[in-house]
Amino acid sequence: MFDLNDVAVFVQVVRHGSFAEAARRLGLPPNTVSRRIQQLESQLGTRLMQRSTRKLTLTSAGQDFHDRCAGLIDGLAAAGQALAAGGQEPSGLVRVAAPADFFDFFPMEWVADFLAEHPLVKLDFVLSDAAADLIAERIDVAFRGGVLRDSGYVGRRLATRSAGLLASPAYIARRGEPKSLQDLAGHDCVTPSTPTGHTTWRLTGPDGVEEEVQVTGRFTGNTAQALRRAALAGLGIAQLPPAMATRDEQAGQLVRVLPQYEYTGRGLNVVYPSRKHLPLAVSAFIGLVMGKLVTASPTVL
């Protein structure tokens, strides 16, 4: 198999009409250029050009070979230049695996701003509650909840603290505001469903001590969005992810209950296959996530 570098040298020699000029353009010694052409002819088993002290003349085989490969060599060079240029600006497709309700707490406006800032980037979101196989499914970035098992991926832990306990102003007006953690036992709380119908909330007070209270309610649901909508409808007090609750709190649609307490949720993590040769587009998207959500130091999972 002949060396493509020798073919590229041959194309340059033909294009510039001499070994000396081709050597100058390529930054190689003239004898190296001559040796490479001889090596290529030896590998092909035919003479490509006739040499004289005044000029070079292609043989019929050399002309045919040049006509066939010159465009391909130029295409390879152009592809390399484009890739190098693209390496200076985020570009290309980024595949993102995330939970099914990801956009319930990650505003689409953040994505729109990111795409406007990086016009050469495309985002492909794969939304599912099943854990994606990053390698098999060609995933660049994945979001996963809870404690991560050792997987060999690079992972960064996002915020685990919730915005606390929230309820609608209408609910507070109707049922009153709880004064202590134990008062929650007498209130309607919207929670994920459990076999017993009771849920234990563990919350950390201002002194850093974790306390617990058993709560019940008349509405349960299996997604954070369902619990949010129930709280907005005045069905009870809820624990919500911070990004989801912040907008409703700022709009006055939800208010804090027992603001001195917080709970530690399952948390969210962003993971990616490797730190090595991370495309700029992927790095930029991870930067978006880190900039919008509370972060911790990266770890290898």
- Each residue's pLDDT, cut to its tens digit, for the chain (301 residues) gives 668 888 889 988 888 888 888 888 888 898 999 899 999 899 888 999 887 767 788 899 989 988 888 888 877 776 666 665 555 788 889 999 988 878 877 889 999 999 999 999 999 999 887 777 887 788 899 887 665 665 567 767 765 555 689 999 999 999 999 999 999 999 999 998 888 778 888 888 888 888 889 999 999 988 778 899 999 999 999 988 766 777 788 889 999 999 988 876 556 778 887 766 678 899 899 888 887 765 444 444 4
- Whether residues 194 and 115 share a domain: the answer is no
229 and 286, same structural domain?
A: no
Question: Is residue 275 located within the same domain as residue 149?
Answer: yes
Structure tokens at 160: 């685990």
Q: CATH number for the domain including 42?
A: 1.10.10.10
Residue 115 burial (CB count, 10 A): 13
The reply to whether 141 and 273 lie within a common domain is: yes
Question: 111 and 234 share a domain?
Answer: no
Whether residues 135 and 284 fall in one domain:
yes
Alpha-carbon dihedral 101, 105, 108, 109, rounded to 10 degrees? 180
Same domain, residue pair 37 and 184: no
Give me the domain span that covers residue 105.
92-160+266-300
Q: Please identify, among 39, 58, 86, the residue that sits at the C-terminal boundary of a domain.
A: 86
Burial class (CB in 10 A: 0-12, 13-18, 19+), 167: buried
- Which of residues 54, 86, 118 is at a domain's end? 86
Say what the pLDDT of residue 219 is.
94
Instruction: Please give the full DSSP string across 52-117, using - where no structure is assigned.
Output: -SS-EEE-HHHHHHHHHHHHHHHHHHHHHHHHHHHTTS--EEEEEEE-TTHHHHS-HHHHHHHHHH
Question: Looking at the structure, do residues 73 and 118 belong to the same domain, yes or no?
Answer: no
Helix (H, G, I), strand (E, B) or coil at 216: strand
CATH number at residue 225: 3.40.190.10
Tell whether 154 and 287 lie within a shared domain: yes
User: Does residue 102 contact residue 125 with C-beta atoms inside 8 Å?
Assistant: yes
Tell me the chain's radius of gyration from C-alpha atoms: 32
- One domain for residues 78 and 214: no
212 and 272 assigned to the same domain: no
- Choosing from 86, 105, 121, the residue where a domain stops is 86
Q: Is residue 271 within 8 Å of 282, Cβ to Cβ?
A: no
Question: 21 and 58 share a domain?
Answer: yes
Number of folded domains that form the chain: 3
